[in-house]
Amino acid sequence: MNDFNTELLPPELLAPEAPMEQWDIPLLRTFKHIDSTNVWLQKNAEFLPLNTVIVADQQSQGKGRFDRTWISPPGKNLYFSILTRPHTQAINWPQATQIAGIELAQMLSSWGFELQVKWPNDLLHNHHKICGILAEKWNSPSGGALILGIGININITASELQSIAKPATSLREICGHRLNREYILKCLLQRLEKAWEKYESQALQPWLDTWRKMTNFVGSPARLVQNDTAQEGVIQGIADDGSLLFKTAAEGGEEVVLRVYAGDLELGSSSGSAGAMHRQTAIK
C-alpha cells in the first residue's frame, strides 16, 4: 500500500461521495438494503427497460458464482446488476462477463492498481480477490436478457475481510484512500456501453491481447472444479473464444489439453508440483 502511486488517481475518485439516492447515472435504481441485486432483477426484469442498473448499499443474500455468499456490508463496496442484451447469440452471452472483467481491470489499471484476471472473470491483486462477476439469463417470450451482477471490494477494510474464507482485498487497502463509489460505477458503465458496441462486430478480439497479458498464470498448477468433480493440471492459456486451455491427464495417463467453457479455477496444487497434478477426484 505504501508504494502505491496516488498521482494516477483521478480527483473525482477521491472526492466526497453523494448519498446513493442522489447518484447521477441513467436508468439507475438504488436500494439501501436488498436481498440480492441479481435476484431483484430476475423478479422485475419484465417491467424494466434494457440497460437498467440496480445498485444496493447492502445485500443480505449477495451471491457469487456457484451460489457462494458475497459479503456485502453497508456503505463500503459496489454491489450492482445490469439488465442487458449483448448483440450476439445467447450461447455467447457468457463472454459478456469476461469483457466486463477485462474492462474493469483496464480501468483500474489506468488508475494505478496492479491487477490480474483469473479465468473466467475474477480480478485479483497479489492473488487476493477484489471483484467477482455473476451472469444469469432472464428468459422471456421476447428473447430474454442477460443479468450481469458485479461485486467490487472498494472501501472494505482488512479487518472486515477476515471473515472471508479465501484471500480478498479492496481498492482502499491497496491505495490507502477511501474512494468514490459513484465515480467508479459511472466510469465502468460508460466503458461497458462502448464495449457492447465493439463486441457486436468484433467478438472477443479487441480484448484478447490485454486479457492474456493480465492473465499471468500460464504454466501455473491449478485445480479445475466442474460440477462435483475436480481435476488438477496446468494452465495453458486463453483460447480466442475465451475458453480456458487446461492441460491434465486423460484415462491411461496421457496428457491432454482441454478447452474449458465453464468451471471454477483454483490456483495452486494440492499435490504441490505441476508434474504430479494430473488427478481427478470427486467432490463430496
Contact 195, 210 (CB under 8 A): no
Indicate the length of the chain as a whole number.
284
Q: Binning pLDDT at 50, 70 and 90, where does residue 233 land?
A: very high
Q: Tell whether domain 221-282 is in CATH 2.30.30.
A: yes
pLDDT recorded at residue 203: 87
Q: Radius of gyration (Cα) for the chain, nearest Å?
A: 19
**Which three-class secondary structure state does DSSP give residue 55?**
strand
And the C-alpha cell for 70? 458475497
Measured CA to CA, the distance from residue 188 to residue 107 in angstroms comes to 7
Specify the DSSP class assigned to residue 203. Answer: T
Contact 155, 178 (CB under 8 A): yes
Residue range 254-271, pLDDT digits in tens: 899 999 998 989 988 544
pLDDT recorded at residue 70: 55
pLDDT at 242 over 60: yes
Residue range 75-119, pLDDT digits in tens: 999 999 999 988 777 778 889 999 999 999 999 999 999 999 999
Domain boundaries, the chain: 6-214, 221-282
Please tell me if the domain spanning 6-214 has the same topology as the one spanning 221-282: no
Residue written as cell 422485475?
A: 44
| Apex 9 CA angle, 7 and 13, nearest 5 | 145
pLDDT recorded at residue 61: 63
Contact 185, 146 (CB under 8 A): no
Q: Which CATH superfamily is domain 6-214 in?
A: Bira Bifunctional Protein; Domain 2 (3.30.930.10)
Average pLDDT over residues 208-212: 94
pLDDT at 280 over 60: no
Residue range 23-72, pLDDT digits in tens: 999 999 999 999 999 999 999 999 999 999 999 999 886 554 445 555 67
Phi–psi pair at 6, nearest 5 degrees: -70, -10
